[in-house]
């Protein structure tokens, strides 16, 4: 191992996670397979370098390693994050998500801004971004939200990787709820008629009419179709966020119906 080449210089190309360890260290033996497995799962996002502190005591001293396992994240030549001890896979994933810089998110934010401004080319750019960066969850969810009422199969495909326990699971489950709303076959009851009108509004891209009819269906029978009007309303407001104009205008009416 050449630390300067394999860690410092290479960290200008992608983040490098350095695991300071030793063969006699029990917690190191617990952490090793977990972090090595993650490095394979997330290949291309970051790379792992293992440093045996018995063989490289100079590096341990230089980087302030006082106990092992000690894991440090290097980016552009500097250590920008660290943890000590044998963390679980979920804890390490959370640490990585918090500390690994992702320059792609800036490009994604630009695309989403253009989508909000109704740029006709932005949706195609988002689709291309997802194709080139399938590991960026924010992009998959953003595209799923854009196509949930027009291409349900694509929306479900986009959220398929998000399973229970994933930090994006709730957002993905909202998409699944809205797909179910889109595919529901309403009856001729008052709730069913309002739900059908909501589906027509969703297909037409009329978000204001969509939430108005959802509230109407919930008012008529919030338990209709296994609570579908209520669940769809909650999913819409969560997808829009608290600062969305329609959330500010209609959430209080929806909540009054529920409670």
Residue in the block written with tokens 């896979």? 89
Give catalytic status of residue 28 as yes or no. Answer: yes
From residue 35, how far is each of 30, 79, 87 by CA, in Å?
A: 9, 18, 9
Whether residue 39 contacts residue 93, with contact meaning beta carbons closer than 8 Å, is answered with no
pTM of the model: 0.66
Please state the rounded mean pLDDT for residues 69-79.
Answer: 94
Instruction: Identify the active-site residue in 16, 28, 122, 232.
Output: 28
Tokens of 176: 């699944």
Strands (E), 121-258: none
Lowest mean pLDDT among 90-104, 131-145, 215-229, 240-254: 90-104
The burial of 85, by beta-carbon neighbours within 10 Å (0-12 exposed, 13-18 middle, 19 or more buried), is given as: middle
Structure confidence at residue 251 (pLDDT): 96
Q: pLDDT band for position 104 (50/70/90)?
A: confident
With a CB cutoff of 8 Å and minimum separation 6, the contacts of 63 are 18, 20, 72, 79
Instruction: Identify the active-site residue in 7, 18, 25, 60.
Output: 25
pLDDT reading at 103 higher than 80: no
Q: What are the domain boundaries of the chain?
A: 3-99, 104-258
pLDDT reading at 89 higher than 80: yes
Q: pLDDT band for position 106 (50/70/90)?
A: confident
Tokens of 74: 């290097």
Listing DSSP states for 220-246 in one string gives: HHTTHHHHHHHHHHHHHHHHH-TTSHH
Please state the rounded mean pLDDT for residues 85-94.
Answer: 94
Structure confidence at residue 10 (pLDDT): 95
Q: Helix (H, G, I), strand (E, B), or coil: what is residue 48?
A: strand
Q: pLDDT band for position 44 (50/70/90)?
A: confident
- Return the CATH number of the domain spanning residue range 3-99: 3.40.30.10
Give catalytic status of residue 253 as yes or no. Answer: no
């Amino acid at each position: 191992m050449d630390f300067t080449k394999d860690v410092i210089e290479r960290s200008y190309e992608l983040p490098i996670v350095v695991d300071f360890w030793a063969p006699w260290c029990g917690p190191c033996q617990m952490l090793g397979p977990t972090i090595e497995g993650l490095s394979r799962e997330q290949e291309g996002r970051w790379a792992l370098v293992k440093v045996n502190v018995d063989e490289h005591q100079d590096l341990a001293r230089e980087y302030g390693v006082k106990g092992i396992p000690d894991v440090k994240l290097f980016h552009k030549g500097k250590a920008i994050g660290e943890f000590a001890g044998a963390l679980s896979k979920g804890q390490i994933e959370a640490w990585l998500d918090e500390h690994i810089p992702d320059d792609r998110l800036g490009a994604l934010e630009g695309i989403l801004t253009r989508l909000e401004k109704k740029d006709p080319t932005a949706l195609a750019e988002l689709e291309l971004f997802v194709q080139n960066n399938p590991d960026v969850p924010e992009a998959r969810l953003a595209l799923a939200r854009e196509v949930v009422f027009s291409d349900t199969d694509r929306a479900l495909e986009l959220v398929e990787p998000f399973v229970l326990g994933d930090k994006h699971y709730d957002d993905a489950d909202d998409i699944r709820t809205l797909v179910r709303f889109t595919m529901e076959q309403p009856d001729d009851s008052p709730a069913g008629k309002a739900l059908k009108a909501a589906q027509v509004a969703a297909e037409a891209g009329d978000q204001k009419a969509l939430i108005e009819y959802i509230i109407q269906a919930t008012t008529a029978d919030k338990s209709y179709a296994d609570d579908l009007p209520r669940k769809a309303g909650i999913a819409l407001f969560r997808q829009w966020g608290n600062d969305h104009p329609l959330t500010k205008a209609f959430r209080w009416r929806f909540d009054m119906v529920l409670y």
